[in-house]
Amino acid sequence: MSTATAEADLTVHTAEGPVRGRNTGTARVWRGIPYAQPPVGDLRLRLPQRPDPWQEVLDAGRYGPWAPQPLRRVLPGADAKTPMSEDCLTINVTAPPEAGEAPLPVLVFIHGGGFSTGSAAMELVDGARLAAAGNVLFVSMNYRLGALGFLDFRACSTPGRTFDVNVGLADQVAALEWVQRNIAAFGGDPGNVTLFGESAGATAALTLMCVPAADGLFHRTFLQSPAAAAAYGPDLASQWANEYLGLLGAGQDGAAKALAGLDAATLTRAAEELSSRIAPESRPGALSLAPVVDGSFLPLHPLQAFGDGRASSVPMVIGTMDNEGVLFDRLHNILPTSRDRIERMFDQTEPERRDRVIAAYRGYPHKKQAVELGGDAVFWYPSVQAAQAHAAHAPTWSYRFDYAPRAARAVGLGATHGLDLAAVFGNYDAGTGRMLLSMGNRRTARNVGHRFQSALLRFARTGAPGPMWPRYDRTSRRTKIFDRYDRIELDPRTVRRQAWDGYRGYR
């Protein structure tokens, strides 16, 4: 086949215009396709707008720019040549090496990074192996991060300049709308879309289940370590916006000018200061960069929507790592993993409930138990709340990922936050994946990863993760434990769950 013919075979006509991908040998890829207009100039901090159509063939061979984020926190294993820009609203499609005849299931991935870092270009979340292993289409997108995506500046609007809220979440809705318009042209089935993500990506996917504008755009969700309670009402969101403006040195009168006119790097530095220093100390356990319960785009707090049966009734798999908090205590220091922060986290809680929770962590306030408590507060217990609520209205499965390669155990991380990414993507030869296997356990790690990945792929194809994985319900709370040898446990950590029951955090 000639080069010209091969390129023609990789040219796809989308609703906006033609795009040409490339064949990497292991996958067919189309990268950096605009799914919305660049959110710059008058569109900064506004809801995304559908892109203008184009006539010439768009070269879709490279990832689009990373969203603006702190340079020192750019994650490893990423394409260092990919630039950083506010013009970041692009989407990527990865297909198996050979085209088939029947429409393929579609997996849409939302990357994590605390709503402040990350990119679809990270090597660890490359979807080529996933697409080939499952004969599926893999889709990923970049979306606005930090202050440009997840702070509420509506109060700063003026007659000449309007600011919207939840624009980062709205970007994800726009990307899902793009999938509905265009994925059939790539060989995908728009009626079979599985939305999945890890960390902030899973939090976003869970939240989108409660966003009316996203209803019908996806058909099941697979959620890895969501911070399910990380959405806040307008009062707390307004406090964070005011604290952020203070970091910019902008009073209310000059806020609109600062937000519209300052460069992205300045806005990003202030958001980093707010999210990594101020918020963890003043309100431990809350994430200042997060969705806002605004009453319209996001009408209810997600956990309330789940409890009321008003979340999307799609099948859901949800789970966490065995010890979520260790990674943050070691690297990012943003969770309530110390005695001082834990005490402040419970300031708004009845003393009896606080005492009951603390008593469930025998050995507290020693560091190990404090780290476990902080990780449970942000990740594990809210996931339990979401699972038990959703199970009353839709098929739900729960898991815990306990496996940790020898290298992770040797440095004291264990099965902590993010170590399931190499498993689900099959990317143990990527940067972080290579480190995890640097001390051996290759065969075991790959076997565990294969079982985890297979559950996702089976879920995407059939709507259930497998016959050996029973549904979750509020009575038995059957949970799959992924480890060297998988097992089903009934109501894992019963004592801790009962101790946390009734805790509402910052809601």
* Active-site residue (options: 116, 119, 140, 199): 199
Helical (H) or strand (E) element with 92: strand 90-95
Query: How far is Cα 314 from Cα 17, in angstroms, rounded to an integer?
Result: 32
Query: Rounded to an integer, what distance in angstroms lies between the CA atom of residue 135 and that of residue 138?
Result: 9
Closest C-alpha to 171, from 193, 146, 153: 146
Given 111, 301, 390, 417, which residue is catalytic?
A: 417
| Length of the chain (residues) | 507
Quote the distance between the C-alpha of residue 494 and its chain's center. 27
Beta bridge partners, 11, equal 20
Backbone angles phi, psi at 27, to 5 degrees: -165, 160
Instruction: Tell me the C-alpha distance between 117 and 392, whole Å.
Output: 34
Q: CA of 269: how far to CAs of 215, 259, 328, in Å? A: 35, 13, 20
Whether residue 417 lies in the annotated active site:
yes
**Cα angle at 229 between 228 and 232, to 5 degrees?**
130
The contacts of residue 321 (CB under 8 Å, 6+ apart) are: 225, 379, 400, 401, 402, 415, 416, 417, 418, 419, 420
Residues whose CB is less than 8 angstroms from the CB of residue 287 and which lie 6 or more positions away in sequence, other chains included: 114, 115, 227, 230, 275, 279, 334, 378
Q: Which of 324, 338, 372, 383 is catalytic?
A: 324
Identify the sign of the CA torsion 430, 422, 290, 300: positive
Look up 177 and say whether it is catalytic.
Answer: no
Active site residue 140: no
List, by residue number, the catalytic residues.
Answer: 199, 324, 417
